[in-house]
Structure 1
Amino acid sequence: MESITVIIETPKGSGHKYDYEPELKCFKLKKVLPVGMVFPFDFGFIPDTKGGDGDPLDVIVISEIATFPGCCMDCRVIGAIKVNQTERDGSTMRNDRYFVVPEVSQLFKEVNSLVQLPDGIITQLESFFKNYNEQAGKKFEILERVNAEEAYQMING
C-alpha cells in the first residue's frame, strides 16, 4: 500500500479542537474540551476525501512525534473503525476513523496493523471518541474494526 498524506488539525495533548476552514485557508478554534480531557494522539484529515459527514476523512496519527495544526506528513494506514455518529438533531451518518502511523516514526516503525499496537490503545481511543461525542450531545456507535487493507480500500474507494 502506498503512503497517504495527512494534515493535522489538533495535536496530541491539546485540550482544544481545531478545524481547517478551506474558505479562510486557516485553522479555526472549534471548541474547548472539558477540564482534563485532551486528544490522546494527533487528529487530522486526509485531503481531497469526503466522509459521511461531508468533511474530509478523519485520521488518528499513532506516533511519538510532537506536531502542530497544519503539519503535513506521509503515513501508512494500519486500520480503521467504522462508526455511526448520531447528531443532536437525531440524524445519523457514517463518520469512520482511520488509524495511521507516520513513515518517519521510530517507535511505531514496525507497526503495520491495529493488532500490532500495544494492548488497549484502540480501546482507549474508542472510549475517547465516545466520551468526546457524548460531551457534544452526540452518540458515537462503533460498528467494527477493520484491517489495514480494508481501511486503505475504504479511503481510495
Structure 2
Amino acid sequence: MIECPKGSNQKFDYDPAEKRFKLNKILPAGLVFPFDFGMIPGTKGEDGDPLDIIVISEGSTFSGCLVDCQIIGGLKAEQTERNGHKVRNDRFIGIPDVSQLYSDIHTLEELPQVLIDQLEAFFKNYNEQAGKKFKVTARLNAPQAAKLLSQ
C-alpha cells in the first residue's frame, strides 16, 4: 500500500484505527521521495509498524494505492531514535508486476549500483532530518528478503 507517492515532499501514514491517511510531516525543501514508498499490509516490524517498501517504477501512484510487487531485495537497517533507542527498520524493495521499464529486474543486484547507493543516501538523509540515525547493515537479495517477510 502506497503511503507517499514518488516526487512528494509530504509523509503520510495510514492509521488503521481511523481507516484513513494522516499527514505525518513535510520534508525539508528539496527532499522528495525518489519512488513510491509505503508499507506491506499484514506485516509488523520491530518498530511496531508494518514493514516498509519502496516501489521502483517508471511512474507514481497515490496514497492508498495497492500495488502487487515482486520483492527483489531489501536494505536491512538499524534506526536510532531521538532518545537513543535502536530498532530494526528494514526497507524492502519491490518492482510492480505491471511495470514495463523494470519488468526484467528480478534481483537487487540487477539494479544500477548508483540507484541503490542513492536509496541508502535518501533514507539516511530523511532520518537525519527527523533527528534520527539510519544505518544500512546489509543489502538483502531476493531470497533473503522473502525469508524475512515470511517470519
TM-score by length of 1: 0.95
Take 1:37 and 1:85, find their aligned partners in 2: how far apart are those partners? 19
Q: Which residue identity does 1:111 align to in structure 2? A: I
Picking from 28, 34, 38, the partner of 1:40 is: 34
Take 1:64 and 1:71, find their aligned partners in 2: how far apart are those partners? 15
Query: Which residue number corresponds to residue 3 of structure 2?
Result: 9
Displacement of 1:117:
1.0
In the TM superposition, what whole-angstrom CA distance separates every residue of 1:14-50 from its partner, at most 9, and x where no partner exists? 0100000111100110000001110000000110100
Query: Which residue number corresponds to residue 139 of structure 1?
Result: 133
Query: Which residue number corresponds to residue 23 of structure 2?
Result: 29
SS in 1 for 2:67: strand
Identity %, equivalent residues: 58
**Aligned-pair Cα RMSD in Å:** 0.6
Q: Which residue identity does 2:74 align to in structure 1? A: A
Q: How does 1:76-95 map to 2 (within 5 A)?
A: 76-95=70-89
In the TM superposition, what whole-angstrom CA distance separates every residue of 1:53-73 from its partner, at most 9, and x where no partner exists? 100000000001220000001
Which one has a larger percent strand, Structure 1 or Structure 2?
Answer: 1
Take 1:90 and 1:66, find their aligned partners in 2: how far apart are those partners? 34
Ranges of 4+ aligned residues in structure 1 off by more than 4 Å: none
Q: How many equivalent residue pairs?
A: 151
The answer to whether residue 95 in structure 2 is matched with residue 110 in structure 1 is no
SS in 1 for 2:139: strand
Unaligned runs of 5+ in 2: none
Picking from 124, 129, 141, the partner of 2:123 is: 129
Take 2:28 and 2:143, find their aligned partners in 1: how far apart are those partners? 35
Take 1:133 and 1:66, find their aligned partners in 2: how far apart are those partners? 22
Q: Which residue identity does 2:15 align to in structure 1? A: E
TM-score by length of 2: 0.98
